[in-house]
Amino acid sequence: MSVTDLTVLVVDDDFRVAELHAAIVAAIAGFTVAGTANTVAAARTAATEFAVDLALVDVYLPDGSGLDLVRELSCDTMVLTASTESSSVRAAVAAGALAFLVKPFPHTMLAARLAGYARYRRALSVAQVDNARVESALQALRPAASAGAGAAAASPTKELVLHTILESAVPLSAGEVAGAIGISRATAQRYLAALVGSGRILMRLRYGTTGRPEQEYSPRG
């Protein structure tokens, strides 16, 4: 972990979802996972044990409301939830949440929000700000609305593709990578080709019993 890494606490009542979101965080350069929690109580404990920069918080937790947790945490927060109620959005914003994502969402959407959060923190890393810097910081939190959204999301997506290949126990095709992280096959193929070209992963041909061979990808070494 770099001394400049932003630490993230993932709070979700479903441990599988918590681990999935933690994997997305860990795949992005500049971020590290402080821990995961499945209850309000566990999240409170983790927040006191670790220096947390950002918490990703579900609304529905078994021992309380994630919105109440957002209000009491001293770190920045984003709400990731299956709740589609407008009142939940307003309550999250009023509590101080920097973003509200409704599940299910593409993994790249969370990656883009995290990349935007990193830019937000960099913009506000100085002691004094002017209006232009404030506007830049706030725009960074809404990458989908900014002109540079495609470019902002590109690097996190590439890191997710690489992470998926490195963590897989078996070689994967472009279609399998796309299905694993929620992007199109063409997008996965583009990033895989770039990763092969830079020497970060290997490409081989997978021969089936019929039809044309398929390209598959695996870690080097």
- Domain boundaries of the chain, sorted by first residue: 6-105, 150-219
Q: Kindly report the CA angle at 157 between 155 and 160, in degrees rounded to 5?
A: 115
Rounded to an integer, the average pLDDT of 118-147 is 86
pLDDT at 155: 63
Tokens 């398929």 belong to 214
Rounded to an integer, the average pLDDT of 46-74 is 96
Percent above pLDDT 90 for the chain: 60
211 confidence band (pLDDT: 50, 70, 90): low
State the maximum Cα–Cα separation within the chain, in Å, rounded to a whole number: 65
Among 1-5, 82-86, 111-115, 156-160, whose mean pLDDT is lowest? Answer: 1-5
Classify 6-105 by CATH class: alpha beta
DSSP three-state, residue 214: strand
Tokens 């959407």 belong to 109
Among 46-55, 95-104, 194-203, whose mean pLDDT is lowest? Answer: 194-203
Handedness of CA 141, 151, 82, 40 (dihedral sign): negative
Q: Kindly report the CA angle at 176 between 104 and 167, in degrees rounded to 5?
A: 85
pTM: 0.71
Across the chain, the runs of DSSP E, i.e. the strands, are 6-11, 31-37, 54-57, 60-61, 64-65, 76-81, 100-102, 201-206, 214-219
Check residue 219 and report its DSSP letter: E
pLDDT at 153: 44
210 confidence band (pLDDT: 50, 70, 90): low
Residue 150 clears pLDDT 70, i.e. is over it: no
Residue 97 clears pLDDT 70, i.e. is over it: yes
60 confidence band (pLDDT: 50, 70, 90): very high
Architecture of the domain made up of 150-219: Orthogonal Bundle (1.10)
Tokens 């009542």 belong to 13
pLDDT at 146: 44
pLDDT at 147: 40
pLDDT at 196: 84
Rounded to an integer, the average pLDDT of 75-93 is 96
**Tokens read off for 216:** 């598959």
Rounded to an integer, the average pLDDT of 160-177 is 91
Task: Burial-class residue 54 by CB neighbours within 10 Å (0-12, 13-18, 19+).
Answer: buried
Rounded to an integer, the average pLDDT of 109-117 is 90
pLDDT at 78: 98
